Amino acid sequence: MFEAQRIISGLRRKLELGDLFIFLYLSVFARQYLWVIAHNRTAWALTVGIAALFWLVHLRAKDEVEERTPGAFWLIVALPLLVVYTLKYAFPDLSVDVLNHRLIQAERGLNGPLFIPGDFFPTIFPFNPSSDMLTGISRHLLGYRLGTVINFLSLLFAGTVLNKLLRPFIVNDRWRCLGILLTLYTEHVLFEINNYMVDLLALPLLLEATRLALREDDDDNHVTRDLVYVALLLGACVAFKLTNVLMAAPIALLFGWRMLRRLRRLDFKVFGRVVMAVLIAALPLVPYTIYIYRQTGSPVFPLYNKLVASPYWPEMNIYEGRFGPENFWQTIVWPVLMFFKPQRLAELPVYSGRLTVGFIAALLCLVLPRIDRRIRMVSLLIVTGSLLWSAAVGYIRYALFLELLSGIVLIYLASLLATKATLLSRPVRLTLLLFLTIVIAAQFLAASNYAYNYEWSMRPTFFEQRQPYLADARLTLRDRHLIDFLASEDKDLIAGVDVWVVSNIKTNGIEVLLRNDVPMLAVNNLPYFDTVQSRKRFAEALNQVQGRRMFSLSLVENLNESLDLIKRRGLRTGKITPITVPFFSNYTRLYMALIEVFAEPKPPPPHRAGPEPTISEVHAPLFEEAFNAVITMPQPPERLHAGEKQTIQVVVRNASDYLWPARGEAGGKFFLNAGDIWLYAGTEELVNNLDGRTTIPHDIYPGEAIQLPLQITAPTTAGEYVLEIDMVQEGVGWFKDKGSTPLKVRIRVE
């Protein structure tokens, strides 16, 4: 009994706020390892047990807390951040990214693998869901609006690590806490404090890994223990978001310098430690990496598809060209240049310049004399991390860690100027201190203004809509299930859903909150229909859900777009029922349409005799695999006079499995025509692609062929040409651009 009490007492002396997060982090990664267990409750029971076991090992291994977080921290740091959090928290988060992939990845990841049988890529970017699972746990425990508190708590966790990093430089607790607040107080951090974006969750881990890398303790056992921690922390950060590798790499190199700086030579022991660190860092990454590789053929799907090709994504890398530097020279100076180009930093085009000022300050710290070694190392992290980030993305949301490091350097310089800069005369020192204080204060005020007016879902604040805010705030802790907010007749409609057809970018999060236990077929993610293998996978998924009741939800303002996308994938729509979704709120109401969806029956074989051929209409692009024609010409012309017109006969066969409708929209859009293109012989450069057109007279069934007259006009200049005959859907494109093979005939024009 005495021994147990002693152990418990020792653990209590080690407990800190961050240890709560460590347990949650361990839980989400343990749950991914246990995706192999189909029964969710059993898997979670084992998850909690495994996470608790490793958490206790962590507490036993860590050092006792040398100095507790000062009481001033809660007043100076926590209270202002809490005020920012509460300004908008009562209004439920409706950010596009949240509705598009954050919610679905959380719900699916907490219940098992990301995809279930019958799914077809319900989220466009199936990234590692571990960070979303973390916010999902918070949401299930506390409800939708208060579930975002995990971001607020992660900032407090980051603040406690900053307290340890700044303690050697600022002795006074109150001044140090003020420095912590100023470090955390950047607009793009505050934009995410009360929504379901996940970028803040890795910040305390990156800071803690940095702190361990900067430690002066060179005891061999302590170095080995810290190596294990740093490897796990950085591995978890990369699992949370792959772009964190840009921040993790310099930290890993810094820790490597800590290991090697007192060694006279490299030996097998050092090599063994490096191998061990790599294996440990991989632990948080292994389960999902293996899973997504087995699903798609790429361990980083759908990123870098030119480098690690998956057959389910086009041969392109995901890159948003509207963000970041535009050329090599801009990349070199981007940490400074970006201050003048906030529109290229993020969707929210405002920036107070924290990283710009921090980058300049870091360069100065690398060359100025008598700068603390640890600050030099932090400055080196800022410079190298900023250049890596600029070269890779240049998107500010992926550089929040660099902004916090910049805050450390700026607060250090302010402290140095205030107390220790003996090489400078008093007037110079005070002038520099005043200038730096003005810069930091200006950033604080700008960040406050931006945080009040902006955030990812652009919700109003308490001061703008007090009554709705107070009414919604009363639902705190009572908003765990979206289905509970629906009217009884709408609940009955949702109960009849067996399959979701995702037809809009902002609906899969709503659909998964209403019914998470049914397959989801996404028809709105266009890149997934660009390859043959992905189209086959869609057909297989459709076969798996055959006979089940399929429905799609669409916001009323996006209804036409949803209907178009559903029909484009060869599906048929039925009854459309209005449905109102109070989104965890009596004021935030989503007016939606519940669309009944049917798999289009395969067309019957064509009848050569009997009734007249059918004539149907199409009001959208054909299904991708319908663009498949075989074209022949019984008597191709060999010579034509310059400018001569001639009517030729071409035979076109529908080589697809889909019906070709005979009619499109008024004005010719979506009509199916045979057409000709003139090319120069040899180079096959374009001469004219706006020559003849002939519309098919009736529907063409799969396998059916038809002979069409096509009037062509020879080029006006004599020479050797290639006449290309192809089918075209007007307003969409030529069949050859979809993979079909056109007919080509060489003709001499005299």
Of the candidates 23, 46, 66, which is a domain's last residue?
66
Contact 582, 486 (CB under 8 A): yes
The CATH number assigned to the domain holding 725 equals: 2.60.40.10
Query: Which token pair is 641?
Result: 């006079």
648 and 556 housed in the same domain: no
Q: How many CB atoms lie within 10 A of CB 530?
A: 15
Query: In this predicted structure, what is the pLDDT of residue 6?
Result: 60
Residue 592 binned pLDDT confidence (cut-offs 50, 70, 90): very high
Q: Alpha-carbon torsion 300, 306, 312, 314, what sign?
A: positive
- CA R_g for the chain: 31
Q: Give the DSSP H or E segment for 448.
A: helix 426-453
pLDDT value of residue 610:
44
Prior bond to 302 cis, omega within 30? yes
Binned at pLDDT 50, 70 and 90, residue 655 comes out as confident
Q: Tens digits of per-residue pLDDT, 552-587?
A: 999 988 888 888 888 888 888 889 999 999 999 988
Euclidean distance between CA atoms 481 and 147, whole angstroms: 12
Residue 167 has pLDDT above 50, yes or no: yes
- 453-461: average pLDDT: 91
| Burial of 41 (C-beta count, 10 Å sphere; 0-12/13-18/19+) | exposed
Q: Is the dihedral of CA 56, 60, 63, 69 positive or negative?
A: positive
Domain count for the chain, please give it.
3
Indicate whether 542 and 638 sit together in one domain: no
For the ranges 215-219, 375-379, 533-537, the lowest mean pLDDT is seen at 215-219
Residue 194 has pLDDT above 90, yes or no: yes
Let me know whether 496 and 554 are in one domain. Answer: yes
Q: What local confidence, expressed as pLDDT, does residue 232 receive? A: 96
Segment holding 221, helix H or strand E: helix 220-240
Helix ranges (DSSP H) in 74-148: 79-88, 96-97, 103-111, 130-142
Listed residues 29, 48, 66: the one ending a domain? 66
- Choose one of 559, 583, 599: the last residue of a domain: 599
| 737 part of a folded domain | yes
User: Do 629 and 744 have their domain in common?
Assistant: yes
The per-residue pLDDT for 568 is 80
Together in a domain, 743 and 700? yes
Contacts of 562 (CB under 8 A, 6+ apart): 503, 504, 524, 552, 554, 593, 595
Residues 633 and 594 in one domain: no
211, amino acid identity: R
The strand pair at 693-695 and 589-599 is best described as unpaired
The Cβ of residue 589 has, within 10 Å, a number of other Cβ atoms equal to 12
Tell me, yes or no, whether 639 and 586 share the same domain.
Answer: no
Q: For residues 118 and 520, what is the distance between their CA atoms, to the nearest angstrom?
A: 7
pLDDT digits 0-9 by tens, 72-101: 999 999 999 999 999 999 999 999 999 999
Q: Does the residue 678 lie in any domain? A: yes
Neighbours of 541 (CB within 10 A): 20
Answer yes or no: are the C-beta atoms of 550 and 498 closer than 8 Å.
yes
Q: pLDDT value at position 602?
A: 46
**Per-residue pLDDT tens over the stretch 95-131:** 999 999 999 999 999 999 999 999 999 998 899 999 9
Using the Cα atoms of residue 390, residue 393, residue 396 and residue 401 in order, give the sign of their dihedral. Answer: negative
| Identity of the amino acid at 108 | R
Strand partners, 720: 748
492, 537: one domain: yes
User: Residue 475 half-sphere exposure, CB side, CA atoms within 13 Å?
Assistant: 25
**pLDDT reported for residue 319:** 60
For 497-522, write each residue's pLDDT tens digit. Answer: 999 999 998 899 999 999 999 999 99
Residue 384 is assigned to a structural domain of this protein = no
Q: Do residues 586 and 629 share a domain?
A: no
Q: What does the alpha-carbon distance between residue 304 and residue 290 come to, in Å, rounded to a whole number?
A: 17
Residue 451, pLDDT above cutoff 70:
yes
Structure tokens at 255: 């820790």
For 613-628, write each residue's pLDDT tens digit.
677 777 778 888 889 8
Claim to verify: residue 673 and residue 741 sit in the same structural domain? yes
Show the tokens assigned to 630.
Answer: 């075989």
**Per-residue model confidence as pLDDT tens digits over 403-442:** 999 999 999 999 988 886 656 777 888 888 899 999 999 9
Which contacts qualify for 350-354: CB closer than 8 Å, 24 or more apart?
350/187, 350/450, 350/454, 351/187, 351/188, 351/396, 352/186, 352/187, 352/442, 352/443, 352/446, 352/447, 352/450, 353/443, 354/186, 354/403, 354/406, 354/407, 354/443
Residue 30 sits in which domain range? 1-66
Q: In the prediction, which pLDDT does 262 show?
A: 66
The answer to which of 172-186, 188-202, 228-242, 294-308 has the lowest mean pLDDT is: 294-308
Q: Residue 603 has what pLDDT?
A: 46
Write down how long the chain is: 750
Dihedrals phi, psi of 653, to nearest 5 degrees = -115, 135
- The answer to whether residue 61 sits within a structural domain is yes
Residues 6+ apart with CB under 8 A from 124: 100, 101, 505, 522, 525, 527, 528
Tell whether the torsion through CA atoms of 54, 57, 59 and 63 is positive or negative.
negative
**7 falls within a domain:** yes
Mark whether 688 and 584 lie in a shared domain.
no
pLDDT at 735: 93
- pLDDT of 604 > 80? The answer is no
- Residue 504 covered by a domain: yes
Name the residue among 299, 308, 310, 301 with its Cα closest to residue 533: 310
Q: How far is CA 441 from the centre of its chain?
A: 33
pLDDT value, residue 1: 52
pLDDT of residue 586: 87
pTM: predicted TM-score of the whole model, two decimal places: 0.80
Write down the pLDDT at residue 321.
Answer: 65
Cα-flanking dihedrals φ and ψ of residue 709, to 5°?
A: -80, 140
pLDDT (0 to 100) of residue 235 = 97
CB 401 within 8 A of CB 247: yes
pLDDT for 609 equals 46
pLDDT at 146 over 90: yes
Helices (H), ranges, 454-553: 466-473, 488-495, 508-514, 532-544
> How many Cα atoms are found within 13 Å in the side-chain-facing hemisphere of 431?
5
676-698: average pLDDT:
86
Measured CA to CA, the distance from residue 633 to residue 628 in angstroms comes to 17
User: What span, in angstroms and rounded, lies between the C-alpha atoms of 513 and 494?
Assistant: 11
Helix (H/G/I), strand (E/B), else coil: 195: coil
- The dihedral through the CA atoms of 195, 44, 14, 412 has a sign that is negative
At 15 the three-state DSSP class reads coil
Q: Are 335 and 359 in contact (CB under 8 A)?
A: yes
174 pLDDT band (50/70/90 cuts)?
A: very high
Residue 178 domain-assigned (yes or no): no
Once rounded to an integer, what is the mean pLDDT over residues 378-401?
Answer: 95
Is 114 domain-assigned?
no
- Classified as helix, coil or strand, 578 is strand
- Asked if residue 633 and residue 553 are part of one domain, the reply reads no
Say what the pLDDT of residue 278 is: 92
pLDDT band at 607 (very low <50, low <70, confident <90, very high): very low
Q: Are strands 693-695 and 743-749 parallel, antiparallel or unpaired?
A: unpaired
Q: Give percent of the chain with pLDDT exceeding 90.
A: 59
- How far, in Å, CA of 92 to CA of 81, rounded? 19
Is the distance from CB of 353 to CB of 443 less than 8 angstroms?
yes
651 Cβ neighbours under 8 A, 6+ residues apart: 631, 632, 633, 634, 705, 706, 707, 708
Predicted confidence band at 338 (pLDDT cuts at 50, 70, 90)?
Answer: very high
